[in-house]
Amino acid sequence: MAASDAFYNNLLPKIEKVIGQFGTTFTINYAASYDSTTMTTVPAGSRTVNGIVSDDTLSAGAIVTSSLIPQNATNLSWKNKKVLLLPPSANCKANETITVDGKEYALGKVETVKPADVVLLYILELAR
User: Does the structure show a pLDDT above 70 at 77?
Assistant: no
Average pLDDT rounded to a whole number, residues 36-61: 84
What pTM value is reported for the model?
0.75
Provide the percentage of residues in the chain whose pLDDT is more than 70.
78
Cα separation values, 108 from 8, 34, 122, Å: 24, 19, 11
pLDDT at residue number 73: 54
CA nearest 118: which of 16, 10, 5? Answer: 5
pLDDT of res. 29 = 95
For residue 16, the model assigns a pLDDT of 95
Q: For residue range 1-33, what is the model confidence (pLDDT) as tens digits?
A: 566 788 999 999 999 999 999 999 999 999 998
Half-sphere exposure of 90 (CA within 13 A, CB side): 37
Among residues 10, 31, 5, the alpha carbon closest in space to that of 96 is found at 31
The amino acid occupying position 95 is N
Instruction: Select from 90, 107, 110 the least CA-distant residue to 99.
Output: 107
pLDDT grade for 87, boundaries at 50, 70 and 90: very high
CB 80 within 8 A of CB 70: no
Which amino acid, one-letter code, is at 12?
A: L
